[in-house]
Amino acid sequence: MENWQEVLRKNSIASLDALALKFGPEHFPELDRLRQAADNFEFRISPAMVDLIKSPDDPMWRQYVPSVEELDVVDGIVDSLNEDADSPVPNITHRYPDRALFLVSPVCATYCRFCTRRRKVGDPEKIPMSQFESAFQYLEQHTEIRDVILSGGDPLLLNDRRLEAILTRLRAIPHIQIIRIGSRIPCHLPERITPELCATLKRFHPLFINTHFNHPDELTPAAVAALGMLADAGIPLGCQTVLLRGVNDTPAVMIELMHRLLMARVRPYYIYMADQVAGAEHFRTSVQTGIEIMRALRGWTSGLAIPYFVIDAPGGGGKIPILPEYVESMNEDEVVLKNFRGERYVYRQPREEAGVIEMKKPRKRAAKAPKRSPQRVPA
């Protein structure tokens, strides 16, 4: 049986010529311009994703096949999240007070065309451990950091020995409590999730993995099996989904994705607005599209299936949650709320007197007013 490195090397599509051979040259009429797009950002589609592409412009094609739209830079930014400004030493981004991002791999099994970090990923050269020394020293010196997120590229494309070395070094730092790994490998290269890898990872608990699925079809039987192996190793799994035009920008698709994630033992964590990345503007939807998707989730499915909807603020502002408006008004007496059906309700505010909290008495109603629930306000 081929190991995961052989599967990736032999069966991926990594050139436009191979792509045209697979799907037909008639689908690539602007080949010269397309070559420029592929030159601007690394191109590879793993075997699992090649198998999912059914036709041009389907959700898988849009995510992974280069497009001439990538050359139409309108308002995109090269480093849209300003990560480099928050990088005190190579491979570390320290933006939030108690956690840091540690970039440990420059390569991915498949290169998503909407990638936020496209300026950095794609270098096939493995980073020598010696080049991580300044990162480890920074993490050791900054005792406020309790949570480290391994990212890249994809950390799970490192071999078991390299992963073990990095995790061992991190676990030797007393103030680091939590280790997280961000990876699309369960989706893109499920062959990589082996019993040996799971045995290695479970030695470093508490360890979490946030994976990344954007469409229900990506949860193939092989992907679900890989996720099950990780879950059986005691690794809590979350999913970070990106809202993408023509991929998952409808309530029906997003609800199905969230339900299938839960069935695969993955907790939906974030839905991101697509970042303002130069060359990826064509993936962006309006913010209102995301709000309407969240409105279609809240109350219509279980809370377990509802992630946070966030904008990772351009310029380095961090993740900002975006919610539909459920609070219509609020004062010291009451809060008027709207539920998922659009019905209005009143929540009475407590009153604090002499250190004792007392509930305000409901307002008196006219003697002949129709009787109804004291908490419900007609729409």
Quote the pLDDT of residue 369.
44
Phi, psi of 225 (to 5 degrees): -65, -40
∠ CA 282-283-286, rounded to 5°: 95
Other beta carbons less than 10 A from residue 340's beta carbon: 13
**pLDDT tens figures, 19-66:** 999 999 888 888 888 988 888 888 999 999 999 999 988 999 999 999
Residue 149: closest CA among 209, 89, 97, 219: 209
Q: How far is CA 63 from CA 122, 242, 302, in A?
A: 16, 11, 28
CATH 3.20.20.70 range(s) for the chain read: 84-321
Tell me, what's the pLDDT at 83?
85
The tokens describing 277, both together, are 């990345």
* CATH class given for the domain over 84-321: alpha beta
**Cα 50 to Cα 195: distance, rounded to the nearest angstrom:** 25
Mean pLDDT (whole number) for 115-121:
85
Catalytic center residues: 95-96, 99, 108, 112, 115, 117, 275, 312, 319
Q: What is the percent of the chain where pLDDT is above 70? A: 92
Q: Which of 238, 262, 129, 267 is nearest to 180 (CA)?
A: 238
pLDDT value at position 353? 56
pLDDT in tens, 318-370: 999 999 999 999 999 999 999 999 999 999 999 875 455 555 555 544 444 44
Provide the pLDDT for residue 82. 79
Which pLDDT belongs to residue 84? 84
Residue 280 and residue 70: Cα distance in Å, rounded? 6
Coil, helix or strand at residue 360 = coil
Structure tokens at 61: 């094609």
- Give the model's pLDDT for residue 372: 45
The per-residue pLDDT of the chain, averaged, comes to 90
- Give the amino acid at 218: E
Identify the band that residue 87 occupies on the pLDDT scale cut at 50, 70 and 90: very high
Adjacent-strand bridge partners of 149: 101, 180
Asked if the model's pLDDT at residue 374 lies above 80, the reply is no
Distance of CA 137 to the CA centre of its chain: 28
